[in-house]
Each structure stands twice: as structure tokens, then as C-alpha cells.
Amino acid sequence: MEVVIKNIPLLKKKEWAGKILEKFKGEKNIGESWEVSTHFSGVSNVLYKERKIPLNEFVKKFENVFGFSEFPIMVKFLDVGKILSVQVHPSDEIAKELGENDKGKSEGWISLSEGKVYLGAKDYSKEITLENLKVFEAKPFDTFPIPAGMVHTAENILLLEVSTPSNLTYRIYDPYGREVHIDKAKKCIKPIESKKDSMKLEMQQFYAEVIEINEEKNFMDEKVNVLVALDEIEVESKNSVKLKKYESCIILPGNEYIVKGKGFVVRIYPKD
């Protein structure tokens, strides 16, 4: 069977969308490109044997290969032209306590451009406002872990988001007039220390790393891998897939593969 599977993303228009993704995805006002998702709020697709198949159907068809029936992570591009809402995600425990149908969410961001990332409050004894958030002037390949309970937003930046499979968000402030969830948000907020790293994003549930490719590089992993191209590359294994900039693919677990080209990729995999 084919082991390198090209993703066909689910594109979502947003009020805050920038102008970067539309150049690569072929549609205007694209704020989010869901590269990998089996979540009920939006399922991405894959190209398998020249057929477009919903990822959740593909995973169930090859559940014995994947070792799971639901993809354990979500991967998205966020093209943030204007500022996002000030928001927080609950833990699994808080989501259950609040009677939600969705699970809690932890995520991390990898910046692909310069821009602003706001993480955590300066003073948790005061009201959570934009002015009370810690500001990071992000540069390409800076990474920001955002565990459940951390208040966050971003502005004027292209991000790659990796998260647990959830779409549960509580808005504290929204500049676009959408519903806010102050009471629920207050139950979630934790005084978590905000931090940034570079080139790698390590969280309890997943790991992501930015890797420079100079001609070619070999990989072998017993876990499923998601590979996001930041430049044009080719991925070779039992089959071969070419990826343009900001395209992605899944490599089935237990396979050796070679990435060819010049530039950068992001390699992502779930932890046990």
C-alpha cells in the first residue's frame, strides 16, 4: 500500500484572515487550513491511490496500521492578519465538568513569520484584557506551547498549530462581535508560565520540530508522522509524493522515508 499520503486540507474563511495562505491555497480570506483533522467540527481529506478520501474514513479503513481510530492530533495553518480573540481552552476534566461534547484542548504554535503572540497574563489578580497579556515579538521558527488553561491570542502572523483533537474554545474578548464565554473561561484559566523556544515544540501529547533539508534526509519512525513542507520537497518511501510550500502529508507508522530538496520542513508526531 501507499505509505506517504498527501493531505487535502479543509479551508476555513475567517474575519481575521491575512493574505498569505490565499496565495498558496487558491481561495481568498482563508484564515485556517486544517491539514490534518478527523474532528467532528471539520474533517480534512487525503489523496490515496488518486482518490480523495475523508481522513476519518481512511483512518478507520486502516485502523490496524495506524493503531488508532481517531487521529490523535490536529494540524492547522493559521493566517492571522488581524488579531484573534483573547481565548482559553479547557482541560479534559473542565470540559467534562462543564458538560461539553468535545474534549479539552492543548496546543502549540510554530511561527512561520514575524508577528505578535500573546501568552498568559502579566497579573492574574486583574481582569484578563489584551493589555494584561504578556507579549512576544515572534520570529520565524519560534515555538510557543499553549497548554489547557493558558490565555492566548496572536496578531499579524502566520502560524502552524498542532493540538490535541478538539475545537473547544472559550472567548474572553472578541473584536468581531462573536459570542464570549466569560464564566466558562474563568473556570479554565490557570496561572501558567508562558515561554517560547525555537525549532522544537514539545508537549505532553505531541512533538514537533523544524528541520532543515539540504539535498536529502532519512527518517524512520514507529509512530505516524505528519510532515509539513515550508519549501518545495519530495517525500520518498514505498511511494513518492511531491509537496509544494505549505502542503503536507502523512507517513504511515513503521516506515522509513527520505525527504529530498532544499529548505525546511516540520515533522510532527503524537506521543504515547
User: What is d(CA 12, CA 9) in angstroms, rounded to the nearest whole number?
Assistant: 9
What are the tens digits of pLDDT across the range 246-257?
A: 999 999 999 999
Q: Angle at the Cα of 268 (from 267 to 270), degrees rounded to 5?
A: 155
CATH code given to domain 206-270: 2.60.120.10
Domain ranges for the chain: 4-199, 206-270
Report residue 259's pLDDT band, with 50, 70 and 90 as the boundaries.
very high
In the CATH hierarchy, which fold is given to the domain comprising 4-199?
A: Jelly Rolls (2.60.120)
Catalytic residues: 171
What are the tens digits of pLDDT across the range 15-67?
A: 999 999 999 999 999 999 999 999 999 999 999 999 999 999 999 999 999 99
Secondary structure of 86-122 in HEC code, one letter for each residue = EEECCCHHHHHHCCCCCCCCCEEEEECCCEEEEEEEC
Q: What is the pLDDT averaged over residues 173-181?
A: 96
Residue linked to cell 475523508: 54
Q: List own/partner pairs for 101-104 with CB under 8 A and 24 or more apart.
A: 102/41, 102/166, 102/167, 102/168, 103/164, 103/165, 103/166, 103/168, 104/148, 104/164, 104/166, 104/168
Q: What is the mean pLDDT of the chain?
A: 97
What are the tens digits of pLDDT across the range 201-219?
A: 999 999 999 999 999 999 9
Is it true that 4-199 and 206-270 share their CATH fold? yes
Percentage of the chain beyond pLDDT 70 is 100
What are the tens digits of pLDDT across the range 77-106?
A: 999 999 999 999 999 999 999 999 999 999
Residues 80 and 33 sit within 8 Å (Cβ to Cβ)? no
- pTM for the model: 0.97
Asked whether the predicted pLDDT for residue 272 surpasses 80, the reply is no
